[in-house]
Structure 1
Amino acid sequence: MSYFLPETDPVLTAARGLALAHPGLIEVHSSPLYLRARAPHPERTVGLVSGGGSGHEPLHTGLLGRGGLDAVCPGEIFASPHNRQIYEASVAAAGSGGVLHIVKNYTGDVINFQIAAERLRHDGIPVARVLVDDDLATDAADSATGRRGTAATVVVEKLLGAAADRGASLEELAALGAEIVARSRSVAVAARAQTSPTTGNPAFTLDPGILDYGVGIHGERGTRTIAHPPIDELVRRMTDDLFDALPAGSGEVLAVVNGLGATTSLELHAIGALLNERLAAHGVRPVAIVPGTYTAALDMAGFSLTLTRLEEGWAELWAAPTDTPLVLPHRTLTADHAAPAPSQAVGPRTVEPHAQGSRAVLDRYALIVTQVRDNLTRLDQLVGDGDFGDNLAGGVRRAVKLADETGADGMAALAEAFLNEVGGTSGPLFGLLFQHLAAVSPADDQAPARAALAQAAEAALAAVHRVGGAALGDCTLVDALAPTAEALAADDDAESAEAPLTSAAQAAVRGALATAALRPRRGRASYVGDHAIGVPDPGALAVALLFVAMADVHEPTWATRLPAPGYITLH
């Protein structure tokens, strides 16, 4: 099944939609299906034709027009076009100098383009072929098929399109294309398979924390699975593998960071910055770093890296103007722009360090947050945007780093980290809570005095209310903080007097879990209405976990009565 494609003629319908989105640029021929550029460059004497299975958009249709292709033959999803499509598109696109086929190295594509070429030669139309085979994951000595054609196709089509507009001959274009392919290599990874259009399920499954390394653009499994490393380590590994496979050549490269369909622009741009650092480590200069989704595998969650060693004049071809649906980044980098940004030295911080203070509480809270981050994320996905677990964990990590670097008191480090570096709604509000708690943290390993802690909790509660407007019953962190402040202020039994932090933590946990029965009236959770009922507020849980951490550190015997953090957040 497919969620949004029409059941009848989905590829043809999409082709018509592309033409409607770019009026005057593209004409669609339906029987057989191919798309043709309406206004090729007047200097062009050779038509450029490409194509392949659908599902890789914006390849190839995005490069249809001046500076790109003259005709494109889309097959069904992940299926090669028929030779009749290619033949008729080539007849329509051929110039006085003939037609050049740009073919990804897949068996169905190769055979159908070859048959079309035989038919064209029979008709007396000059034809040549550029075979793109850039995928290093399939570079096996014993393979009769050879390397697959993947994202380097974008580079080949763009450079050849610019050369064709300059009047290059068929022989010149074929030779240039072969040189570009020889100097290009790609490798791809995926964390989740594409959704099958027929079943609506992932085409294959990967365990959490596992990547497929060396996947293909039709959803082919990778050549191996690996544990998901930090992204900078993954980019290093992929870049090193590419340089091992690239032929020797100039010290300038074109680098494409290609999304496979479900990878965000935010991720791709970050990968581009990391790739730039790795290129510098290899002693080469990127003329352009090009992040974006150019050769998709439907909605696969992954990306590929493509490197092309540039020869003289190729950078100018990349920067040449186009009039195509896909606008590729065409500005080239200067040597200064391409250099990695200098690392920022850690400067003096404004936090005044205490001798010991609440550092043990910070370390305990950091451990707890790490353990329950995924639980908090799942809860936030049910009622908000799903970022709470990562934001909380990231803020706590910054606080730990700050405390390590400056010797700052743990609660003061939490206050500075969350007030100055954690965004969103809850980050600064937690910063206010930490700030008030830091003011009553002793300069030694002792627990804060109960009266001082009660005043700090009340002051934090008032500050959160002034800033955010939240009140008890609104299903926010206030619903955990208010009963905590009340418990600390009470002095009604011997147990609470002997173990005030444990009693406060118990009150916080009860208040946080009780938010599951509330209809949110503040924040993003309020947008989902009754759908949030049954889900405890993640912010309230984070407050409860803070007081659990304080009780664990200062009242370890009494704190054994508290539920485990994983249990508290498992709802």
Structure 2
Amino acid sequence: MSYFLPESHPVLTAARGLARAHAGMIEVHTSPLYLRARDPHPDRTVALVSGGGSGHEPLHTGLLGRGGLDAVCPGEIFASPHNRQIYEASAAAAKSGGVLLIIKNYTGDVINFQIAAERLRHDGIPVATVLVDDDLATDSADSATGRRGTAATVVVEKLLGAAADRGATLEELAELGRRVVAASRSIAVAARAQTSPTTVAPAFTLEAGTLDYGVGIHGERGIRTIARPAVGDLVRRMTDDLLDALPEGPGDVLALVNGLGATTELELHAIGVLLGDELTARGLRPVFTVPGTFTAALDMAGFSLTVTRLEEGWAELWTAPTRTPLVLPRPIPAPERPAEPEPAVSPADTEPAATPHPGGDRALLDRYALTVSQVRDNLTRLDQLVGDGDFGDNLAGGVRRAVKLADERGLDGTAALAAAFLDDVGGTSGPLFGLLFQHLASAAPKDGGAPSAAALAEAAEAGFAAIHRVGGANPGDCTLVDALAPAAQSLAASARDGAAEAPLTEAAQAAIRGALGTAELRPRRGRASYVGDHALGVPDPGALAVALLFMALADVHEPATAPRLPAPGYITVP
């Protein structure tokens, strides 16, 4: 987020911070502002200078040093540097063979770098330029400006940095840069705009379920707003557009998956796999697939894809060593024919199918599955208020897995739930529910009839004891046991007194009261305990899921009295 930029001189302060973090590697000149590499490669005869608006880090400054750039000129946020910055940085960094200026194709950058180039020529310093224009979203015959320069700048700077360390001349570097630019295209999408440092609000708004296609790295809106597709479909569409725009050339490619500031590595690595698969399916060989945040747009939630066709020798330039703040991934080149991963097989999948019991409690599983599907989103919203927001999906996914096990292996309903939640559902609550289901399975009559209050009471109490031994939770801690314990107590009382007309319905009512009562508790265990008083007023999702289970038991086995119970959606509305 851009909430925490210093009020005065944010770019200068950040430059000093970068130099401090990489002591001995970078020096900062303050008037005018530029950063310079302290230890260039001794074989380098041409200085590489680049820069642009700040807010794209680690672009430019991250590639400052051996194997990268000699000097970087940062402008204010999303604003081009002044020609004086570029001129003085280039004059200070210039070598015997001159200076190569690497420019992103934005009007302000082009004008200021070109003015600096004129001043350098006037001083007798050999100078050449490379203009990066890879963004296919701005490829229009009606535009005199041409394509914007975006994430392919990283590829250009890395390859040129390696070539410069090998002693390439100014003419050789300029020609190499132009070829790399011509062989590269990029496209970007965003689901949320960057935070404006001025207003501390998103720079533009998008409706839920949409994204902007073809955004720019300065936060420019995309060329169109589209309904958000599945990620695989989105990557396929972006790949099609990239390859349609990319000139013909070699089949070996470098694929850069670039985060725009707020996209996680988890997402970028997954997108990298999808992109690699799409390229391979089209007959290309992604020699390198490189995920990471290289060209940000402050904290925009989005990503860009860049594809560069690799000419002979470029792969070696990409993997050449660097000494820069940004350590670019140096992956091992992909094999000619990647081995197909073998599907994971769990022990349960290899077991022989069990003989189905006649009837069993499959009706309970089906009823619980229907209920969970109806309230999954409600449970997710509640969990977002007090935890990490995954409870609804985890619960629904576990129940779906249980249904599959019941269908494929003939397991009873609670036995299938136990197997699914103990073996396949992660997180904190998943295995704890597995313990509960494991004990409840022992109470299910094999003839398909209703379980007795005594058997259910014993099973519920055993489940509570197991959960307590594992997690330490007690009633009053604001966890699932706040619904389980009163249900178990109600069943035990019904079994002891023998007077309850509908023991399962009464147990469900006790579980509901316990679950809703967690809204008044300050959590003492689980993730909700980390948010303190913010959890007050929010019922625990795990306790609600237990209440829903006892409601399902009553619906199946006491249909005449179950209408006394509220609708599942009523008790789980956020």
Q: TM-score with structure 1 length normalisation?
A: 0.93
Displacement after TM superposition at 1:389 (Å): 2.8
**Conserved 8 A contact 1:516-1:533:** yes
User: What is the aligned residue count?
Assistant: 571
Change (3 A) 1:167 1:194: same
Residue 31 (structure 2) pairs with residue 31 (structure 1): yes
Local SS of the residue matching 1:453: helix
2:538 corresponds to which of 506, 514, 535: 535
Matches of 1:308 and 1:343 in 2, distance apart? 32
| Segment of structure 1 superposing worse, 383-392 or 109-118 | 383-392
Asked if the contact 2:2/2:299 (under 8 Å) is kept, the reply is no
Question: Which residue does the alignment assign to 2:293?
Answer: 293
Mapped partners of 2:28, 2:109: distance in 1: 21
562 and 104 in structure 1: CA distance in 2 versus 1, 3 angstrom threshold: farther
For structure 1, list consecutive stretches of 5 or more residues without a partner in the other structure: none
Helix, strand or coil at the partner of 1:335: coil
Q: Distance in 1 between matches of 2:344 and 2:524?
A: 42
Superposed, 1:357-506 pairs within 5 Å as 357-442=360-445, 446-491=449-494, 497=500, 499-506=502-509
Contact 2:242 2:307 in 1 (8 A): yes
- Match status 1:65 vs 2:65: yes
Task: Tell me the residue number matched to 1:567.
Answer: 570
Q: Show the counterpart of 1:547.
A: 550
User: 2 CA distance for matches of 1:240 and 1:557?
Assistant: 59
Aligned CA distance change for structure 1 residues 397 and 54 (closer, same or farther; 3 Å): farther
Aligned counterparts of 1:179 and 1:517: Cα–Cα separation in 2: 66
Confirm or deny: 8 A CA contact 2:2 2:298 kept in the other structure: no
CA offsets 1:457-505 (integer angstroms, 9 cap, x no match)? 2221121122222111121100001111223334399999554443332
Q: Any conservation in 2 of the 1:285–1:338 contact (CA below 8 Å)?
A: no
Superposed, which structure 2 residues align to 1:129-528 within 5 Å? Answer: 129-335=129-335, 338-339=338-339, 341-344=341-344, 347-349=349-351, 352=354, 354=356, 357-442=360-445, 446-491=449-494, 497=500, 499-528=502-531
Looking at structure 2, the residues matched to 360 and 193 of structure 1 have their Cα atoms a distance apart, in angstroms, of 48
What percent identity do the matched residue pairs reach? Answer: 78
Which amino acid is 2:524 matched to?
Answer: R
**Cα separation, 2, equivalents of 1:533 and 1:518:** 6
CA distance in 2, matches of 1:4, 1:83: 29
State the SS of the aligned residue for 2:350.
Answer: coil
- CA drift at 1:22: 0.4
One-letter amino acid matched to 1:5 = L
What is the identity, as a one-letter code, of the residue corresponding to 1:487? S
Residue 191 of structure 2: SS of its match in structure 1? Answer: strand
2:353 and 2:410 in contact (8 A); partners too: no
Query: What CA distance in whole angstroms lies between the structure 2 residues aligned with 1:242 and 1:495?
Result: 73
Q: Cα distance, 1:561 vs. partner? A: 3.6
Q: Residues 45 and 428 (structure 1 numbering): CA distance in 2 closer, same or farther, change over 3 Å?
A: same
Partner Cα separation in structure 1 for residue 566 and residue 141 of structure 2: 59
Distance 1:305 1:441, change over 3 A: farther
Give the AA of the match of 1:167: G
User: How far off is 1:189 after superposition?
Assistant: 1.7
Deviation of the 1:204 alpha carbon: 1.5
Which whole-Å CA distance do the structure 2 matches of 1:328 and 1:444 have between them? 64
The 8 Å contact of residues 46 and 99 in structure 1, kept in 2 or not, is answered as yes
Q: Secondary structure at the match of 1:491?
A: helix
TM superposition outliers: structure 1 runs of 4+ over 6 Å: 492-496
CA distance in 2, matches of 1:131, 1:366: 58
- Cα distance in 2 for partners of 1:423, 1:259 equals 28
Question: Partners of 1:174 and 1:343 in 2: how far apart?
Answer: 48
Q: Which moved more, 1:186-195 or 1:330-339?
A: 330-339
Q: CA deviation at 1:292?
A: 1.0
RMSD after superposition: 2.6
Q: Give the whole-Å Cα distance in 2 for the aligned partners of 1:108 and 1:63.
A: 22
Task: Tell me the distance in 2 between the aligned counterparts of 1:85 and 1:363.
Answer: 69
Alignment TM-score, normalising by the size of structure 2: 0.93
- Displacement of 1:15: 0.1
1:106 aligns with 2:106: yes
Shift of the alpha carbon at 1:387? 3.0
- Secondary structure of 2:494's aligned partner: coil
Deviation at 1:239, TM superposition (A): 2.2
Whole-Å separation in 2 of the counterparts to 1:525 and 1:350: 40
Q: Distance in 1 between matches of 2:525 and 2:93?
A: 60
Against the structure 1 CA distance between its residues 22 and 361, is the aligned structure 2 distance closer, same or farther, given a 3 Å change threshold?
A: same
Aligned 8 A contact 2:353 2:408 in 1: no
1:64–1:542 distance in 2 versus 1, CA, 3 Å = same
Q: Supply the distance in 2 between the matched residues of 1:467 and 1:455 (Cα, whole angstroms).
A: 18
Q: Which moved more, 1:418-427 or 1:449-458?
A: 449-458
Matches of 1:320 and 1:333, distance apart in 2? 13
* Secondary structure of residue in 1 paired with 2:389: coil
Any stretches of 5+ residues in structure 2 without a counterpart? none
Q: Deviations over 1:271-325 (max 9, x none)?
A: 2222232232222222222111111111111111211111110110000000000
Cα distance change, pair 261–382 in 1 and its aligned pair in 2 (3 A) = same
State how far apart, in whole Å, the 2-side matches of 1:113 and 1:401 are: 63
How far is 1:453 from its partner?
2.6
Aligned counterparts of 1:191 and 1:165: Cα–Cα separation in 2: 40
* Contact preservation (8 Å) 1:319, 1:332: no
Residues 358 and 240 (structure 1), Cα distance of their counterparts in 2 relative to 1, 3 Å cut: farther
